[in-house]
Structure 1
Amino acid sequence: MPGPVPESWPDLIGMELNAAVQIISRERPDVRIARVLPPGEAPSPPPQDQVRVIIYNDVGPVPDTWMVVPPAPYIG
């Protein structure tokens, strides 16, 4: 029997963005990674027929990397 379906991913904060996207896509293949935003930016309203994940990110410690930052990725 499958476990609960995640709607947020607080454990991904601090993870490299591409790795986080792969985890979310594996855990929730029914959602679209639709919005990757810089810190503090508000997401636009989603289309009515779309379930998407909002992921905030910022520049990582290694050049040309992006890290997931708070708030945790969430369905929205």
Structure 2
Amino acid sequence: MPGKVPTSWPDLINMDVYEAVQIIRTERPDLRVVRVLPPNEQPSPPEEGMVRVIIYNDNNHRVVAPAPYIG
């Protein structure tokens, strides 16, 4: 039986954004869209059928809370 498929990545908080994206793409190669946003910016609604990961950064290329998540 395969392991649990991750839908969020709390361990990536404080990590370099580029490294975080690589980890997510390794763990979830089925995801094609990764949105990196500044703190407090709301993501736009996804296109129909799109599965994407939202990552917030501190404008210094570090991942900040909330943890990266599918949404």
Given the two structures, how large is their TM-score scaled by the length of structure 2? 0.93
**Aligned pairs (5 A) from 1:27-66:** 27-60=27-60, 66=61
SS in 1 for 2:33: strand
Unpaired runs of at least 5, structure 2: none
Match of 1:72 among 40, 62, 67: 67
Root-mean-square deviation (CA, aligned residues, Å) is 1.1
Identity %: 68
Larger Rg: 1
SS in 2 for 1:69: strand
Q: Deviations over 1:3-43 (max 9, x none)?
A: 10000000000000000000000000111233110000000
Q: Please give the alpha-carbon distance, in whole angstroms, between the structure 2 residues aligned to 1:55 and 1:33.
A: 11
Given the two structures, how large is their TM-score scaled by the length of structure 1? 0.87
Amino acid at match of 1:69: V
Amino acid at match of 2:40: G
Unpaired runs of at least 5, structure 1: 61-65
Q: Please give the alpha-carbon distance, in whole angstroms, between the structure 2 residues aligned to 1:24 and 1:33.
A: 11
